[in-house]
Amino acid sequence: MVCAVTALMLGLTACGGGSPTASVVTMPSGSTSAAAIPAIDPLRCDPTTAAPGETVTNGKGSHESGVAVVADYNWAVITGRDTARVTDAVATGAAMASPSLISQAIGGYPPGTTYCLRMRQTRPDTVLYTLTYQPPAGGTNEYRLRATVTGPPGDVRIAGVVDQ
């Protein structure tokens, strides 16, 4: 008689025309099913490294200033993955406010990505910044960007972002 054995986590043995019987397969004591994967250290973002006139952060922002709204936008995209918050950080009518572009922005950073912003407001409507980020799989990447902002303090929004 020919027997077939199928083993996943639960072993099933079938012999002849009878119904299969289940047997529990256990791992030897002290063994693991997969090698431990070392954790990747998150990208460090130390505000004390800021040069005079520069802001260094990876935290939530606000609408109080250009620098604050750039921080808010990037936090909402990368950490919060919050479409409503991203939309709120962008000026009404701005091209980057389209739902498809917001979805692409959020999708561009895998969950668990860490980042750091180095920002400097050079004019009332301009924030120059460097976004350094690290996805969970490792490898650091960097963008040098210029944000155009609009609105009074407390209601500042991003009108656009381009490469520097």
What pLDDT, on the 0 to 100 scale, is given for residue 22? 42
- Single pTM value for the model: 0.76
- CA pair distance 9, 151, nearest whole angstrom: 60
Q: Mean pLDDT, to the nearest integer, of 54-77?
A: 98
Q: Of all residues in the chain, what percent carry a pLDDT higher than 90?
A: 73
Residue 5 pLDDT > 50? no
Mean pLDDT value across the chain: 84
User: Which one has a higher pLDDT value, 144 or 2?
Assistant: 144
What pLDDT, on the 0 to 100 scale, is given for residue 14? 37
Give the end-to-end CA distance of the chain in Å, rounded to a whole number. Answer: 74
Helical H segments across the chain, by residue range: 66-74, 83-89, 99-107
Task: Compute φ and ψ for 28, nearest 5 degrees.
Answer: -60, 150
